[in-house]
Amino acid sequence: HVSLMQRARRQCDIVVVSLFVNPLQFGPSEDLSRYPRTYQADRQACLKAGVNVLFVPDGKEFYPQAFQTTVTVDRLTQRWEGAVRPTHFQGVTIVVTKLLNLVRPHLAYFGQKDYQQYVVIEQMVEDLNMPVKIVRCPTVREADGLALSSRNRFLGKDERRQSTLLYHALSAGQKCIAGGERSGVKIQKAMAKVFQKQQNVSIDYLAVCDSQILEPLKRVDGQAVLLGAIRIGTVRLIDNLLVRIPSRAS
């Protein structure tokens, strides 16, 4: 998140950061109660990054008892995260709509790590003619490839070691494509092979998709996105890599 603030600071006159754990994007059996809440550390990070306004809404004020409006992006939310977490994206689109309406920014910055979320929000903004440009920022990683996430702190020592498997799997798919493979099924199998004989790890999905509509690709051509989600013990991790096949010169 700090990288998003830093980019916004370079490009904008005024930077506003929202700090809000949104209950609507957590399912009934998910980790809302234990999701990290580190206000003082977050506030200091915002100050250091040169943020002008830290917006910390009260949950009951943000969602009063009479609140009853939903915002739905249909097809883009049916697969992947939407299939595993059926109520998640409706919670995301509601909270982002409210934040954009309240702050009215010209630019809004989202990380690539939550790639499907980024695509869903971009579609929503386009469909509803919201006067804001959505900016995708690169995933920030540890030295061993693990994408930074608030949930990483829940990984034990052995789980932390296994956590790099997702990045290695996506990288295996990327390498497969760089080597000339174009079959979506074969690329997906190359990613899945990384998890063979791994205990305490389960795969939610590994997918080779069109980077705009997120549909599975039978054949990779142009730009694609490799998506993955796994569970290590009780911790769920997601990640992705964008890959582009250069067009042949005529």
Q: Catalytic site residues?
A: 1
> Which residues in 203-214 are b (16+ Cβ under 10 Å) and which e?
bbbbbbbebeeb
Could you tell me the CA-to-CA distances from 233 to 30, 150, 153, 155, 239 in Å, in that order?
14, 16, 13, 9, 17
CA pair distance 2, 228, nearest whole angstrom? 24
Residue 239: phi and psi, rounded to 5, are -165, 170
Are 137 and 116 within 8 A, CB to CB? no
Q: What does R_g of the chain's alpha carbons equal in angstroms?
A: 19
Are 189 and 208 within 8 A, CB to CB? no
